[in-house]
Amino acid sequence: MIARRKFIVALGASAAWIWRDVYGQRPAHVYRLGLLGTGSRTADGEPPRALRDALQSLGYVEGRDIAYEARFAEGKPERLPGIAAELVSLPVDVIVTQGGLATLAAKRATSTIPIVMAPAAGDAVATELIASLARPGGNVTGLTDEVVQLSAKRMQLLKEAVPKATLIAVIWNANDDGMTVRYRGIDAAARALQVEVEAISVRGPNDFAAAFSTMKGRRPDAIFLISDALTNVNRKLLIEFAAAERIPAMYEYAFYVHDGGLMSYGPSPEEGFRQAAIYVDRIFKGAKPGELPAEQPTRYYLNLNRATATSLGLQFPQSILMRADEVIQ
């Protein structure tokens, strides 16, 4: 019996040395990363490429060190609790969330699996997703909005582009507390500029027709659209309405401008995912999410669509053109 035990131990040791000789190291733990998105499914059904590329640059090879599980609500927030529960039951080692509603669903589904917000999920402190920027507490950290100064800057740029604007329609998803916080910031910034705000809340895809009817009844001088999964998924309707009614509109992200929107000012979602990868890496290495300070975007981009401006009979002032990061001709 003793001889047999010695043989088994020797065989195990030999196998370990063979693994080292052939592969250079012992088998590594394969981390499982979950992605919970409120919006549309990516083309390949995987987490956004920016997140995966950033993790690869940090040394994580898909299939060897890391595996991905992605779930998308397709603009239907009522699906979030169910698909969040799916990720928790697998289980995954970390959940990366897209949007405040996704973060809230993940937080309700688990108090132990770390959650990383990316891109910014609204004002995470104001919506009580985290306790503070410096010490988020609990199992949530990542990227969050800066509402006051960013709202003021966006409204200032819109007013500079459309100096005669005195009535601005602000459209937002009232089911998302983070977007309501953004609306309040925009409303306060508009009042400081002595601009009247027409508050137009939507809660689902069927509400956009009523929103458009409201604006036709009382035509605004400009539109400000607050971006979340609901408005992102329905952005073609919004951009086409603004074009048909010849109403200038400010958006929060560059992809609206690439799709024909007039102008946008905001952070880069791709940079947000790259920053999220750093959080994920630190958590994989043992950091506790509640002790990792949450961060706000450090760079914001001004994007302009000159062709859209021309179709609206609008000319961007030189002061805005000089500050633009991208001008689509």
Q: Is residue 317 part of a domain?
A: yes
The pTM of the whole model exceeds 0.95: no
Residues spanned by the domain of 191? 147-267+300-328
Closest residue by Cα to residue 199 from 209, 189, 213, 186? 186
Q: Are residues 125 and 211 in the same domain?
A: no
Can you give the pLDDT at residue 122? 81
d(CA 66, CA 284): 10
d(CA 33, CA 69): 6
Q: Is residue 6 part of a domain?
A: no
Can you give the pLDDT at residue 305? 98
Answer whether 69's CB lies under 8 Å from 130's CB. no
Q: Is residue 1 part of a domain?
A: no
Q: Are residues 276 and 242 in the same domain?
A: no
Q: Is 289 exposed, middle or buried (0-12, 13-18, 19+ CB in 10 A)?
A: buried
Answer whether 83's CB lies under 8 Å from 71's CB. yes
For residue 205, cis peptide bond before it (omega within 30 degrees of 0): no
Q: Are residues 156 and 127 in the same domain?
A: no
Q: In the structure encoding, which two tokens stand for residue 25, read together?
A: 């190291």
Three-class SS state of 201? strand
Q: CATH number of the domain at 278, please.
A: 3.40.50.2300
d(CA 218, CA 214): 6
Q: Are residues 58 and 47 in the same domain?
A: yes
Which uninterrupted H or E stretch holds 302?
strand 301-305
Q: How many domains does the chain have?
A: 2
Q: Are residues 116 and 238 in the same domain?
A: no
Low-confidence ranges of the chain (pLDDT < 70): 1-28, 121
Q: Are residues 106 and 229 in the same domain?
A: no
Can you give the pLDDT at residue 113? 98
Q: Is residue 8 part of a domain?
A: no
Can you give the pLDDT at residue 149? 87
Q: What is the pLDDT of residues 239-296, one digit of tens each?
A: 999 999 999 999 999 999 999 999 999 999 999 999 999 999 999 999 999 999 999 9
Q: Is residue 274 part of a domain?
A: yes
Can you give the pLDDT at residue 70? 98
Q: Are residues 49 and 137 in the same domain?
A: yes
